[in-house]
Amino acid sequence: MAGVTELERLLRVLNRQPTDRPPVVAPGGMMSFLTRAILKSHGLDGDRINNDADAMMQAAEAAREETGFENFGVPFCLTCEAQALGAAVSCGTSDIESMVLEPACEQGKDFTFLEVPEPASDQRMAATISAIASLKRRYPDVPVLGNVTGPVTLSTSIVVFDQYVRMLIRDKSTALAIADVALETILRFARDLATAGADVIMVSDPTASGEILGPRSFGHFIPRYQRLFREIHLSGIKGMLHICGNIMPVLGLIKDTGADGFSADSVIRPARVREGLEGTPLMGNLSTRLLASASPAAVRRAVNRLLDDGIDIVAPGCGIDRGTPLENIRAMTTTVKEKREA
Per-residue pLDDT tens digits for 10-45 = 999 999 999 999 999 999 999 999 999 999 999 999
What's the confidence (pLDDT) of residue 252?
87
| Among the listed residues 267, 28, 312, the one whose alpha carbon sits nearest the alpha carbon of residue 148 | 28
The mean of the pLDDT values for the chain is: 94
Q: What is the spatial order of strands in the sheet that 313-316 belongs to?
A: 72-74, 144-149, 200-204, 238-243, 261-264, 282-286, 313-316
Q: How far is CA 69 from CA 174, 233, 336, 337, in A?
A: 41, 25, 10, 10
Residue 185 half-sphere exposure toward CB, CA atoms < 13 A: 31
- Count Cβ neighbours within 10 Å for each residue of 194-218 and write b for 16 or more, e otherwise: bebbbbbbbbbbbbbbbebbeeebb
| pLDDT band, residue 340 (cuts 50/70/90) | low
Give 309's pLDDT tier (boundaries 50, 70, 90): very high
* pTM exceeds 0.85 for this model: yes
pLDDT at 282 over 50: yes
pLDDT at 321 over 70: yes
Q: Residue 1's pLDDT band (boundaries 50, 70, 90)?
A: low
Number of neighbouring beta carbons within 10 Å of residue 144: 28
pLDDT score of 273: 86
CA distance 160 to 184: 19
CA atoms within 13 A on the CB side of 321: 13
CA distance 320 to 329: 10
Where do the DSSP E strands lie in 108-236?
Answer: 144-149, 200-204
Report helix, strand or coil for 30.
coil
Report the pLDDT value the prediction gives residue 342, as an integer from 0 to 100.
42
* pLDDT average, residue stretch 248-271: 91
Q: Could you report the per-residue pLDDT of 115-167, keeping only the tens digit for each? A: 999 999 999 999 999 999 999 999 999 999 999 999 999 999 999 999 999 99
The model's pLDDT over 88-104, given as tens digits with 9 standing for 90+, comes to 999 999 899 999 999 99
Answer for the pair 290, 302: CB distance below 8 angstroms, yes or no.
yes
What pLDDT score was predicted for residue 9? 98
User: What is the Cα–Cα distance from 310 to 312, expressed in whole angstroms?
Assistant: 6
Q: What percent of the chain has pLDDT over 90?
A: 85
Cβ atoms 303, 336 nearer than 8 A: yes
323 in helix, strand or coil? coil
pLDDT tens profile 162-205 = 999 999 999 999 999 999 999 999 999 999 999 999 999 999 99
- Beta bridge partner(s), residue 238: 200
Domains and CATH numbers, the chain: 25-337 (3.20.20.210)
Other Cβ atoms less than 10 A from the Cβ of 40: the count is 14
